[in-house]
Amino acid sequence: GVVTSDDEDGLYKFVEGLKKEGKIRHIGFSTHGSAEVIMRMINSEKFEYVNIHKHFFGDYHAAGTPDTMGGQGNAACVKRALELDMGVFQISPFDKGGKLYRPSATVAAAIGPELSPIAFAALHSWKTQKIHTASVGFARPSDLDEVIEAARLYGDEKSDELLKAAEGKLNEIAIDKLGKDWFEKGLLNVPSCYNSSTDGQSLGQMLWLHNCLTAYGMYEFSSDRYRMLEGTKWTKGKSFEENVKKNFNAGNPGRSYDASVDITEALKDHFDPELARVKIAECHELLTKGKKYTEEEKADKGWKQAYNLTTWEEFPGEAISVSNVLLNRMGLKDVGPNKKAAKEAMKMRNSVRNFSSLDSGDS
């Protein structure tokens, strides 16, 4: 591939040169790619660490994509990286790993009451997947409470029992809701969006989101992820290759369901192509951005939210966030707010620091 090429003017040779000069110590990669691409990068043995999505509830863009080992998702990629003694850093375990700060009632009930969904996700990452580092996003000090609790539990023998019980209960729910055959094989043998038979559709991701919705009632999470796919443009009349090159975002590859595309070839190796076809269409029907549900309708469908830990907004009523301010300061254009908002963001940070100091007893 382009990244791993040994061409003298290539990207890898450039960063390798920086390492030889002592300007950097390690070379790694971060990815939202399909499992097969990630596995190829890992097996190149050119990298010392990987930033990757590997979560209990599914592996974001790698979910439902072939891992070259007969499975799907990033489990085999993480295993292989660990075999090669690579550092493994988990991207967004509490947001892209299931929006666990606003969990569904089904998820919270299955995991609780002695573990929170966030603590569960952290322990699953460290203990079951053997991942070294999990990233944590926070807007205020208390957002770290559940992760700190997970770290405290890590060395407690009781945590193994709690973790296994929660994993077992969640798997039981999925088998009951999806059926054993679908639970075991539903995401296998589905090509990634980079395969021309899909015409750019993220079929595996749609099947994964349908699973999350059906088994665990994760409506908000599933709709957020599907609407990202809906944001990918696709021009009829242009070739598959032209569309991929022009319209695929490396951080969000693939597009949403297109009923006009024949996906027979794409699903030919699936154990139940017709059922997969139905679920893909249903995913679009249930999650498309034009579809609205009342809270009563969500509850009737089993999509009720347990609670919401985002107890305050950075800018109530405004489409501005502190993260956008930070992105703007990093030089990423067209994402940041105005000077007034930047000033407000600084005031907010100072307020958080002041309250934190008061809580800790500092003067």
Distance separating alpha carbons of residues 7 and 3, to the nearest angstrom: 10
Phi and psi at 87, nearest 5°, equal -75, 140
- Strands 49-52 and 28-30 turn out to be parallel
Which residue has better confidence, 331 or 269?
A: 269
DSSP code per residue over 296-313: HHHHHTT--B------S-
> Per the structure block, which two tokens stand in for 172?
């039981």
Comparing 1-5, 85-89, 217-221, which segment has the lowest mean pLDDT? 1-5
Average pLDDT of the chain is 89
Q: Taking 80 as the threshold, does the pLDDT of residue 332 lie above it? A: no
Q: Is residue 85 left, alpha or beta, with left meaning phi > 0 and alpha meaning psi from -120 to 50?
A: left
Mean per-residue pLDDT for 325-341? 50
Each residue's pLDDT tens digit, 72-111? 999 999 999 999 999 999 999 999 999 999 999 999 999 9
Alpha helices in the chain (DSSP H): 11-20, 35-43, 75-83, 105-111, 117-123, 145-154, 157-178, 180-185, 203-216, 219-230, 240-247, 273-287, 295-300, 322-329, 339-360
Split at pLDDT 50, 70, 90, the class of 251 is: confident
Q: Taking 50 as the threshold, does the pLDDT of residue 334 lie above it? A: no
- State pTM to two decimals: 0.85
Split at pLDDT 50, 70, 90, the class of 361 is: very low
Distance separating alpha carbons of residues 168 and 157, to the nearest angstrom: 17
Q: Taking 80 as the threshold, does the pLDDT of residue 146 lie above it? A: yes
Smallest Cα–Cα separation from 186: which of 72, 290, 310? 72
What is the structure's pLDDT at 352?
53
Q: Taking 60 as the threshold, does the pLDDT of residue 357 lie above it? A: no
3-state SS assignment for residue 143 = helix
Spell out the residues 6+ positions from residue 96 whose beta carbon is closer than 8 angstroms to its own: 53, 55, 60, 225
Mean per-residue pLDDT for 30-56? 97
What is the structure's pLDDT at 360?
45
Split at pLDDT 50, 70, 90, the class of 202 is: very high
Which residue has better confidence, 141 or 30?
A: 30
Going from the C-alpha of 191 to that of each of 131, 133, 257, 272, the distances in angstroms are 26, 30, 14, 14
Residue type (1 letter), 171: N
